[in-house]
Structure 1
Amino acid sequence: MAYKVLIVDDEEIVCRGLAKFVKWQEYGFSVEGIAYSVDEALALMERTAMDVVFMDIRMPGKTGLDMLQIIQKSYPGVKSVILSGFSEFSYAREAIRYGAVDYLNKPVNLKEVEELLERLGKDFMEERRAQEVRNNRIEGLLLSAVKGYSRLEQEKYQLPILEWWHGLSMELLSRELSEEEILGKKKLLRAKIIAIVPDAYLLDCNVYELFAIIPCKNEAEADHFVDILEQTCQVGLEWSCGISKFKHGIGALREAYEESGKALRYHRASEKRGMIWYKNIETLFSQDLPETQEILRELVGVLANPEERGCAVSQLESALESICAQKMTVMQFQTVCIRCLIELNGLLQGMKGDGIDLHGQLNKMLEKILLCDNYRMTIDCMTGYAAMLVQKLNDTDEVQLGGGVIKEVQLFIRRHYNETITLNMLADQFYLHPNYLSRLFKEKTGKNFVEYMTEVRMEKVKEMLTDPEKKVSDISMMAGYENPRYFSKVFKQFTGMTPSEYREALNR
């Protein structure tokens, strides 16, 4: 993508000459506009985002110095180059103080322009790399807070100031996509959301999921964003979406992620299309029972493990009886059960077999629960549902079932190889017992989890070593190794060479 250039000079011959005779494209630039006054130039900049402005310092009306001050205030990312005569050197010196990156004497020497373009291209590349590092760092910190791993110190880490915003969880509906297709669809979704809300932050939370932080001044603005998103992003066809309540400040990240996640799981379980707002289903989650999520996590883990699946019914019954002991009304208890069923179905969507109609079974069970008169009848309905799931999952092809889970684990590792990943963390992420996950991973891939993750990291490292601009110590950090010596040791065990030797071999 070429950097966009605007030429501003009241002399047409200067503008046309620069546009025509400089080899812009060879240096990665393209002249996107010509203006003969500052006002005309500013009007062009409102319509088209420019990267570089070449401007005469003396023009009728507003001068180049006037425009420099406006650019410095309103377009801080734009680089300005002054065109001046020898007699105007004092103006050029003042222009540098106002933020001009360089100045060229008139009549302009085309070779000097091209040398300047080469320098500017390198500057843009350096800035882009620095911004990527900063963005990755910010996204990593935000993701850590979203997942509940850490608390953020805004001033210490120079994090964005979030005023009013919503959290948006979006998940791909299809589980049959290749890694390239998943990455492509996520990239396209990111681009579309940023085009609608440029100051949004998007975090890669899961294999199939993105979490977006969407700044908005009020609910009406949020509604407008959702309307546009539903029209442009295949919501309901490719993506299922859940959106949190209105939030204020960076401290609400975890809460927003949990709310939008609940809305997303409700979406998956209910066959609804479009967006699901947490505020519209909040009553299902209003009962303050923190152990409910733990019950669901354990239940899904047991259902996923064929060796433990037979314990699912008794385990659920014991958990529900303990909830009954908390002296809630039958209606409150039934609300908790309905919430559990909706979340359970949402969590099972990724591992279900073709013979399990989760939507149909859920609707029947909700009707039964609402007709129950007491705790015991409600518990019997719930355990009956669990028994049905056990039978259906036992009838499902375990090779296909396990393979689907391990595919997701592999994709997760390849996307998050630069983070600290443990077997227990993966087990928690995919609702499986660590021992079962470890055995299943070895069966499906022929490698244990650590071997596979090391292989993924080393392949990424070899790619990064082809870039001579990247330092080995930086590559170590980018690959998830905080200790450079340990990183070099692992790399040598994997390739037979140190990182430096490998890079030298590439250049022979």
Structure 2
Amino acid sequence: MSVLKVLFVDDEPLIREGLTSVIEWNDYGYQVVGTAENGKVGLEKIRTLRPDVVFVDIRMPGLSGIDMVKQAKQEGYSCKFVVLSGYSNFSYAQQSIRLGMESYLLKPVDEEELIPLIQHLQKKCMSENLLHSQINEYETMTEMEEWKEFLQGRKKNNSWLKQYQDGTFRIASVTFIDQPEKSWVEGKIDTDQLYKYVWIDQVMYLLFKDCDVASIKRLFLSSSRLMATKHHQFQFMEEGTTIEKLPVIVNQLKQLHRLHFSYGNTTILSNKELVSENHYLAEDWIEEVCRSIEFEDDNKLDCYFDEIEKYYQANQYQSRRIVTELIEITKDIYTKLSKANTDIHIPSNEEMAKIICDSQTLQELLSSLKNLLSQTASEIIGFACNAENTIEKIIEFVEKFYYKDLNLKVIADLFNYNRSYLGKKFKKQTGNYFHRYLDIVRMEKAKYFLVEEDLKVYEVSEKVGYSNNDYFYKKFKKYVGVSPKEFQKRHRKQHA
């Protein structure tokens, strides 16, 4: 039960002291918050202390008790007033009744008369507080329903929006994978900084008025630290708008909700942070992944998985389609790997199901699949070959790792062959000595980088495995017939 605050206003010190000690106020659910020696001070303390019950002397020098009560009521204070007077005059009682006084007590106050009165006042205050609470809750619910209907585009009569015409609005939402209690969410977000917040189903919409983007993002980051235990995401439309256009923005936010799975590692997903350019998976993507696994090239494997992440984000596929496709892709990878590596462990349906169930976002799913494939890579001897496919394996390796510090000795060691024997075998099958074949591959790659990616000569030199620019320059001119710069210029002219 709430404690009621009580204030005593009387110009006689003995009366004020007597009232504070005549009974144990705490025993009856009251707290004495102060006293005042006249009506002026009493009014000031009503404003600052906001008491529930005020005992006031009806006749005081300066501002009388009657005038103090009138002024307090005009200012909207709803405390209960009890008149104290040493005069048994019915006219005073009539005035106090007209002012809505609760009772009229003669001084000195009798304890037996006081206790029933304050018990009655307490019940009355509690009843009114409960009623006010219910009314406020109803009004809040009614307002919330109006906003919900409006934001969903269902409210036809929007005349009530006139009060919100001024200002620029921005709207965001916060979604969770596992829905927590709404009160828990409200406790983690600083709602004092919001203009309004509205729950629609399990999504909390956050409305800001005349608030810059940077301030809104700071609020999100602050709230995210408090909600670290829950997997959540803020979706945010950065452009400001008028109040009437908010339902359109809500529909755009709903599209961001659907991308929660694909952008699960993004705390604040705004419309400006979506992958907008087209992304396609190369036809040989699975083959390239298999090569990376066979030769345990984790860097390349990371790049291929970055590609597929961007691919799904750009195409904005739903989570169910993404999961289904990734299962099929993983099966295809293992099918291809198992043809040349019959002893590898192929994950069972139960293992795949566990990975999927444990992954709440695309990033978690890709990370788990990549870890699975990395474990498989440790089971594969990428350089193992037989007499029939040795040179094919070496060619495949050179095509993939041309930029590394390669020579015949390195290749012979990797593939467990005698250097001299391997050199002769390579020349016989390809028609080129190894070092020449490596140069040819590098020059073809260099031409591609000069033309298609328009890189500088020194950048190309590094990308194809030459640390010395002059050496690269001489090699390129020897094989191509012109310098790298001249080759680049001629191509630009031809396609100008």
TM bucket by the smaller chain? 0.3 to 0.5
Larger RCO: 1 or 2 (CA < 8 Å, sep 6+) = 1
When Rg is computed on C-alpha atoms for both structures, the one with the higher figure is 2
